[in-house]
Amino acid sequence: MSEALLGQGLALASAFSFAFANVLIARSSGRRDSRGVVFSVLVTAVFATIIWLILESHDMQVVANATWWKGIGFYALAGVLSMVVGRSFLYTSVRRLGVVRSSTVKRMNPFFSSLLAFLILDEMITTLGAAGMAVLLFAFLLMMRESAKNQRAGDDTPPPVWDYSFGVLSALAYGCAYIFRKFGIFELPYPAFGTLVSALTGLAAFLLAGLFAKSLRGQLTGIFSDLDRWMIMASIAVSLGQIFFFAAIVYETVIVVVMIASLEIFIASYLSIFVFRLDRHVSQSTVFASIFAFAGVILITFG
């Protein structure tokens, strides 16, 4: 198996893991505030530690040189950007815009990430890859149209344009986190260790913020309260998704990985309908969007 094919397979595994997490969170009756986010980061740290000890620790030499500390620094920055800044702006976006409008901006994440990878990492976008991205964008537009159609009439009052900036900032934070992860891989090619450093940095940032924000401090002290089995399984799925994603960018470009991982929304739709029975039927728009999305990803991977 080629390295590129391995990276693509890991990216697809990441998409399935995040899709399962989304459906499990919807199934959960527990709280979905910051304590759920912090719990998922804690679970990620535990899983990353186990995988690092089993697969990477024997080959990894701790050398306190410039390369080592640069790798640690890149992983730490990625952790702050993705687990703290990105998620915080995402939560703000949901509060300001509502679920439907904020998800519209969120679905642009892979395109922000691809642009940053093109500009900063000098990753190439071939003609075939660009065609695949255009097809995938069309698939997302179909899903956005479907979401807007299902929005309740009472939520149709357009929010201020400024409120959309939180979703954009969240997408940029996630995109920058992917870039720093790739830089970290260049220095220390150990994805489980990188995930562990990012998770621990995220936890440290939440604890530090809790010293100054009383509301967050209360949520941190109740991190294990109001958790059901669905939320616990969702946290495990998120952790696996992050580790798979981290491993994927070791073998494949950021552009290809983020595009494959973006299939998460379509996979989650079918899991919700056919596995967990949370929805009764799949719409025609979802079927067509899924076909275009998978076709676009195929073009990107062959490109």
- Rounded CA separation 77/3 (Å): 26
* Residue whose token pair is 């790739």: 182
Identity (one letter) of the amino acid at 35?
Answer: R
Contact criterion met (CB below 8 Å) for 168 and 104:
no
pLDDT at 278: 60
192 is written with which tokens? 């489980």
pLDDT at 103: 60
- Rounded CA separation 208/221 (Å): 13
User: What stretches in the chain show pLDDT beneath 50?
Assistant: 153-154
Contact criterion met (CB below 8 Å) for 89 and 167:
yes
pLDDT at 144: 72
Residues whose CB falls within 8 Å of the CB of residue 295, separated by 6 or more in sequence, listed in order: 132, 135
- Rounded CA separation 216/33 (Å): 10
Q: Any idea how long the chain is? A: 303
pLDDT at 94: 62
Shortest CA distance to 291 belongs to which of 163, 179, 138, 150?
138
In a 13 Å sphere around the CA of 225, the CA atoms on its Cβ side amount to: 7
Identity (one letter) of the amino acid at 269?
Answer: S
Identity (one letter) of the amino acid at 100?
Answer: V
pLDDT at 153: 46
Domain residue ranges of the chain, discontinuous segments joined by +: 3-151+160-302
170 is written with which tokens? 């969240």
DSSP letters, 148-166, are HHHS-GGG-SPPPGGGHHH
